[in-house]
Amino acid sequence: MSSEGNSMPRFEGKTALITGAASGIGAACARHLCAQGVSRLILVDKDERALAALCADCETLRHHGDVADPDLWGEVAAGIDRLDCAILNAGRADSAPIVDLDLADWRNVLSTNLDGMFLSLRCAMRAMRAAGGSIVLTASVSGIKAEPGTAAYGASKAGVIQLAKVAAREGAARAIRVNAIAPGGVDTPIWDQVPMFDDFVKQHGSRAAAIAAMGEVATPLGRFARSEEIAEQIAFLLSDAAATITGAVLVSDGGYSL
């Protein structure tokens, strides 16, 4: 993954796994790695239609299913003969205050964000056991900074951060690097899962105006990130340009958590 002659890390000859690949940050990562020469992509998402519609200009294997389903990971593992990179990114949000949070909603968030993360991480680390590799887990600034209405999401993302650190310790002897990225606000469809976001859209007249207003109010840099920016930062962590970085949490939040 030399960056010679190009400011971006390149991925020629590499195979990469991406979960939550059908939308937002995951889809941006698929497009970015393709543009940077990756040879083979293994894409996982529960949204079959969006996954099928995602165009990837490289050899692509698509697996449709719930990341928290162990059978899915049996199927994915059977199709992997080598794996160099993994972006473990599938996630979902919640927004109820603890007093109103149902156990079922709590479990749904933890199922995707932690069970799914564990199963995908285990699959990736097993596939990298022989030759090493590099993994990035998508956490969130909500796993670091407490915000009302993020009990399940924040607890799950704090868990993702710790999972990345433990995996970094365990993987180091086999040349497996594991890092986490903790975005703040990113303009993706995940916001449509947050009931409070509806009110912002009504208040500001459009989805784009609501995203712009939230970014302006919440962050010192005055805006949310774009998925493409997060994808570039993930690609850096995956690449040899980050060869001495493992167990790190890259906070990419426009200064929100300062």
Q: Count interface residues toward ligand NAD (CB under 6 A).
A: 26
DSSP 125-136: HHHTTTT-EEEE
**Candidate residues 89, 120, 134, 150; the one interacting with ligand NAD per rule CB under 6 A:** 89
- CA-based Rg of the chain, rounded to a whole angstrom? 18
DSSP 74-105: HHHHHT-S---EEEE---------GGG--HHH
Report in angstroms how near the CB of residue 126 gets to ligand NAD at its nearest: 19
Token pair 């190009």: residue:
6
Q: Among candidates 28, 118, 145, 39, which has minimal Cα distance to 84?
A: 39
The contact pattern for ligand NAD, residues 50-79, with x = CB under 6 A and - = no contact, is ----------------xxx-----------
Secondary structure letter of residue 226 according to DSSP: P
Report in angstroms how near the CB of residue 185 gets to ligand NAD at its nearest: 5
By beta-carbon proximity to ligand NAD, the closer residue of 20 and 254 is 20
Q: Answer yes or no whether residue 116 interacts with ligand NAD by CB under 6 A.
A: yes
**Residues 87 and 235: beta-carbon distance below 8 Å:** no
Q: Answer yes or no whether residue 189 interacts with ligand NAD by CB under 6 A.
A: yes
By beta-carbon proximity to ligand NAD, the closer residue of 18 and 125 is 18
Residue type, 174: R
By beta-carbon proximity to ligand NAD, the closer residue of 95 and 138 is 138
**Candidate residues 45, 73, 238, 254; the one interacting with ligand NAD per rule CB under 6 A:** 45
Calpha distance 254→218 (Å, rounded): 9
Q: Answer yes or no whether residue 246 interacts with ligand NAD by CB under 6 A.
A: no
Cβ neighbours for 169, distance < 8 A, ≥ 6 positions apart: 247
Look up 153 and say whether it is catalytic.
yes
The contact pattern for ligand NAD, residues 125-154, with x = CB under 6 A and - = no contact, is -------------x-x--------------
Residue type, 93: A
By beta-carbon proximity to ligand NAD, the closer residue of 38 and 67 is 67
Q: Which of 73, 118, 153, 197 is catalytic?
A: 153
Q: Answer yes or no whether residue 87 interacts with ligand NAD by CB under 6 A.
A: no
**Candidate residues 36, 112, 120, 150; the one interacting with ligand NAD per rule CB under 6 A:** 112
Per-residue CA distances from 87 to 21, 146, 206, 220, 236 (Å): 9, 25, 31, 28, 12
N- to C-terminal Cα separation, the chain: 33
Secondary structure letter of residue 224 according to DSSP: P
Q: Answer yes or no whether residue 211 interacts with ligand NAD by CB under 6 A.
A: no
Q: List the catalytic residues.
A: 153
Q: Which stretches of the chain bind ligand NAD, using CB under 6 A?
A: 20, 22-26, 45-47, 66-68, 89-92, 112, 116, 138, 140, 183, 185-186, 188-190
